[in-house]
Amino acid sequence: MRRYEDALWKKEMTLIYDFSNLMDSFIDASAQDPGFRKSVGAISEDDLNAMMPRISKARESLSRKWGRPSRMLAWTRLPHSQKTVVADILRTAARVRRKFDNFVVLGIGGSALGPIAVHEALGHPFYNLVSREERGGGPRLFIEDNVDPERMNALLTMLDPARTCFNVVTKSGNTSETMSQFLIARDMLRGAVGDRWRHHVIATTDKKKGNLIRIAQEDSLKTFVIPDGVGGRFSELSPVGLLPAAVCGIDIEELLSGAAWMDELCAREDIRTNPGWMSGALMALTMTRKGKNIQVMMPYSDSLKTVSDWYAQLWAESLGKKYTQRGRVIHAGQTPVKALGVTDQHSQVQLYTEGPFDKVITLLGVGAFRSDVAIPEGYPHIPDLHFLSGHTMGELMNAERMATEFALTKAGKLNQTITLPEINAFTIGQLLYFFEVQTAVAGELIGIDAFDQPGVEEGKISTFALLGRPGFEQKRAEIAARPAKNRRYMIGF
Ligand code: PA5
């Protein structure tokens, strides 16, 4: 029996979403100085009750679309529907692990941030630096999500092409960044291994649309499909994230079972016991009624640091919209900010505690760390130092999280905590899926389309035009006709 099939273990490993400190019964309203105009903006039971009819309506409307590719909600099926794909991924990963020393993911946005977050959460903290044995037999992993020429040059000179496998990941199959990386990698491989370059490339893309699938078919590349109705930022639990994770030895079946468990929790009828719906509703309230324009994601664990990067894309790209679904101008969104506990206690927390009442701070906590370090005995004659001895770094980390939570609450700053009992594939699967549901629910309640990204597309199209892609001449002319810069506003050194 796999451990996630054990009901007791599953219960012990269930995430806890604690939103007490969003509520007016916890937030210290006296933190709002007399005469100071800005409201603390805590949420009352009345606020929640008043929202219930809207939540019920949103549930009805969203449940009609749940799972439907045509409404971009097919990501909700990923935890349940990939048996054959998972088997193929595991076979392919085993081959990659046997044959290659390096696995390089070429992708950007949703094609990179999820794989990075899962790898950092579940892999060895110094994965590429330790021996292959300590890596569990996996190749080194590089995830290239930019087109910085200096970094690309450095990477290529470091890799032996004959021992390297490239995973090109793009849903649209056309993204300039990823496709230019692919052309560079292919060229390098052809120079080194000739026609066998095809055995060094795996494509992850749409089954029909875009240039990558065309190339994959022409060149007979091993291909994984990103299913219809799964957008880039919602694709981590598809082959986009599962292949790199499996190559590095992460238990992808446990990851998916964590997501499936969260899917079950988010299907609960009673919203007060439903983590995804409750958090989506509360976040929508903070944005629309409580003037919170910023959400800070602050994990108290280095392993969860890049979950904040993944979340920042999910939250910003999904909710940052000019129009409602009915076409009314709204300019919605809540700016995600990334912070790290405890590091940022010594930089940003001063602002969070004493600055404007414009933020919700989300703390991510870990119940038990996978390993701990005891703080040894020393200097008993200095009591101000000696109090640390006998504790562990894990205790220190968690004490600092509680201290920040206390300080924020006392200062009237809205905060919430999500606790992972420990970091493992099951809890990470839950966490990612929880945030996906939260985002979809918040989008539905605000009334925007959480699954498109016209602002991103505009940038992609302008890049095509600037680099001379056929068919984009009109956009090129539009860019050329923009007002010339005024030297009056440019200062040289
Ligand atoms: O969420 C999205 O759809 C985007 O951020 C994409 O992930 C990103 O633009 C990369 O697109 P593609 O996977 O088509 O290369």
Residue 398 Cα, ligand 1 centroid: separation in angstroms?
Answer: 36
Q: What is the DSSP letter of 486?
A: P
Check residue 35 and give its pLDDT: 63
In what order do the strands lie in the sheet containing 359-366?
A: 16-18, 415-420, 359-366, 294-299, 335-338
Catalytic residue check, 199: no
CB 135 within 8 A of CB 124: yes
Check residue 34 and give its pLDDT: 64
Catalytic residue among 120, 144, 317, 436: 317
One-letter amino acid for residue 356 of the chain: P
Q: What is the band of 31 on the pLDDT scale with cuts at 50, 70, 90? A: low
Residue 107 Cα, ligand 1 centroid: separation in angstroms?
Answer: 8
Q: At 330, list the tokens.
A: 């709204």
Q: What is the band of 383 on the pLDDT scale with cuts at 50, 70, 90? A: very high
- Residue ranges covered by each domain of the chain: 3-67+256-446, 75-250
Average pLDDT over residues 413-429: 98
Nearest-atom index, ligand 1, CA of 210 = 14
Residues in contact with 469: Cβ distance below 8 Å, sequence separation at least 6, in sequence order: none
φ/ψ of 8, rounded to 5, equals -65, -45
CB 178 within 8 A of CB 109: no
State yes or no: pLDDT of 261 exceeds 70.
Answer: yes
State yes or no: pLDDT of 41 exceeds 70.
Answer: yes
CB 170 within 8 A of CB 139: no
| Topology match between the domains 3-67+256-446 and 75-250 | yes
pLDDT: which is higher, 62 or 218: 218
Q: Is 165 exposed, middle or buried (0-12, 13-18, 19+ CB in 10 A)?
A: buried
Average pLDDT over residues 378-400: 96
Q: What residues does ligand 1 touch, defined as CB less than 6 Å away?
A: 108-111, 170-172, 175, 178, 231-233, 317, 453, 456
- Nearest to residue 255, comparing CAs of 404, 437, 61, 118? 118
Q: What is the band of 14 on the pLDDT scale with cuts at 50, 70, 90? A: very high
CATH class of residue range 75-250: alpha beta
State yes or no: pLDDT of 36 exceeds 70.
Answer: no
Q: What is the band of 287 on the pLDDT scale with cuts at 50, 70, 90? A: very high
Q: Whose CA is nearest to atom 15 of ligand 1?
A: 170
State yes or no: pLDDT of 27 exceeds 90.
Answer: no
Looking at every residue in the chain, the average pLDDT score rounds to 95
Q: What is the pLDDT of residues 290-345, one digit of tens each?
A: 999 999 999 999 999 999 999 999 999 999 999 999 999 999 999 999 999 999 99
Check residue 32 and give its pLDDT: 64
> What's CA 46's distance to the chain center, in Å?
32
Average pLDDT over residues 211-239: 98
Average pLDDT over residues 89-106: 98
Nearest-atom index, ligand 1, CA of 108 = 10
Q: What is the band of 37 on the pLDDT scale with cuts at 50, 70, 90? A: low
Residues in contact with 389: Cβ distance below 8 Å, sequence separation at least 6, in sequence order: 375, 376, 377, 378, 380
Secondary structure of residue 10 in the 3-state scheme: helix
Inter-axis angle of helices 83-99 and 239-247, to 10 degrees? Answer: 40
Residues in contact with 204: Cβ distance below 8 Å, sequence separation at least 6, in sequence order: 107, 111, 167, 168, 169, 170, 223, 224, 225, 226, 239, 240, 243
Average pLDDT over residues 89-105: 98
Catalytic residue check, 381: no
Sign of the Cα torsion 338, 396, 353, 15 reads: positive
CB 274 within 8 A of CB 266: yes
Residue 406 Cα, ligand 1 centroid: separation in angstroms?
Answer: 38
- String of DSSP letters for 146-190: ---HHHHHHHHHH--GGGEEEEEEESSS--HHHHHHHHHHHHHHH
- Nearest to residue 441, comparing CAs of 44, 55, 114? 55
Nearest-atom index, ligand 1, CA of 234 = 1
Considering the segment(s) 3-67+256-446 as one domain, its CATH architecture is 3-Layer(aba) Sandwich (3.40)
Spatial distance between the Cα atoms of 141 and 229, rounded to a whole number of angstroms: 28
Q: What is the pLDDT of residues 120-172, one digit of tens each?
A: 999 999 999 999 999 999 999 999 999 999 999 999 999 999 999 999 999 99
With a pLDDT cut of 90, the percent of the chain lying above it is 91
Q: Whose CA is nearest to atom 9 of ligand 1?
A: 109
Question: Angle at CA 324, nearest 5°, toward 205 and 328?
Answer: 140
Catalytic residue check, 99: no
Q: Whose CA is nearest to atom 5 of ligand 1?
A: 109
φ/ψ of 263, rounded to 5, equals -60, -40
